[in-house]
Amino acid sequence: MTDFIAGLPKVELHLHIEGSLEPELMFELAQRNQVAIPFDSTEAVRAAYDFHNLQSFLDIYYQGANVLIHEQDFFDLTWAYLLRCAQDNVIHTEIFFDPQTHTDRGIEFATVVNGICRALEQGRTELGISSQLIMCFLRHLDEEAAFHTLEMALPFKDKIVAVGLDSSEQGNPPQKFARVFARALEYGFLTVAHAGEEGTPQNIRDALSLLSISRVDHGVACAGDEALMDELAQNRMPLTVCPLSNTKLKVFERMEDHNIAMLLRRGLCVTINSDDPAYFGGYMTDNFSAVANALPLSEAELAQFTLNAIEASFVDATSKAEMTARVQAYLAAR
């Protein structure tokens, strides 16, 4: 199974680029940009990655982002992630970025987008990895800040396929951003949102009805609502599930307790993703392996996670067909 997973073509739909900041790069950028960080070694950073919930992770996540200042920093961050994608046989990725994390520090929106997109373009030409970029609003900030960020994104609309909603789910329900998402849809952006990670099944229902989302990011709380699971399966509404993240943040105590296999067998369009891999201990192969080691899944079922991700991706029908053919050829050759 290890060899099968290593060779399986993969598609990632839930990756926060700031969450791929490895301690080594954090230290390198801190030194390059003369930014003080409260750690004296990469080991000290890794030791701090002992989270007990989403907020304890977010506290250090935003702290780490302070080392990202120049366009080259965002390029280096994204390029390092794409090299990991190449190692893990990720053929397509749709990544999140959090502009407010940077613009609130005085970093220009263009600096962030141009650095990330330069790396994505190089990933297409040099690594053969296709990609899309999704801009997330920080839900712990207010609606006005989200509207302002949406307006800042308009000159870069050719580079950004969708808007999303991330950060603290508790206390920041979907309805807080219903008007922002309506405006984003008017501008022609697709929409996705984090829902049902730490929140309730109702958050998933509200995100679907109020934000008109095309994908539910996380969504594992749907298991608490039988009717909702049936609706999600019937509508093929994708769930971008992040297994290692879920166990690291205690959504599930152990991977053996995770509901991803059950959701897959219920016919839901479930996908596997790495979320914030530098912080949660693993990229795509690590997540697939953790699931396969804890839960009895066949090769065909593991491949279905990729096929689901292709179906859920924001690419054209031709690209989907090409990626699907690669997965089917890989299975046929087994």
Q: What is the pLDDT of residues 279-301, one digit of tens each?
A: 898 999 999 999 999 999 999 99
Q: What is the CATH number of the domain that holds 65?
A: 3.20.20.140
Tell me what pLDDT residue 136 has.
Answer: 98
Q: Which two structure tokens, joined as six digits, stand for 200? A: 């309730």
Q: Which residues are catalytic?
A: 197
The pLDDT-based confidence of 29 (bands split at 50, 70, 90) is very high
Tell me what pLDDT residue 107 has.
Answer: 98
- The whole domain housing 128 covers 2-332
Q: What is the pLDDT of residues 232-267, one digit of tens each?
A: 999 999 999 999 999 999 999 999 999 999 999 999
- When divided into structural domains, the chain yields a total of 1
Query: For residues 126 and 124, what is the distance between their CA atoms, to the nearest angstrom?
Result: 6
Q: What is the pLDDT of residues 158-176, one digit of tens each?
A: 999 999 999 989 999 999 9
Tell me what pLDDT residue 55 has.
Answer: 80
Tell me what pLDDT residue 162 has.
Answer: 98
Q: Which residues contact 76 (CB under 8 A, 6 or more apart)?
A: 25, 29, 119
Of the CA atoms within 13 Å of residue 59, those in its CB half-sphere come to 11
The answer, yes or no, to whether residue 54 has pLDDT greater than 90, is no
The answer, yes or no, to whether residue 58 has pLDDT greater than 90, is no
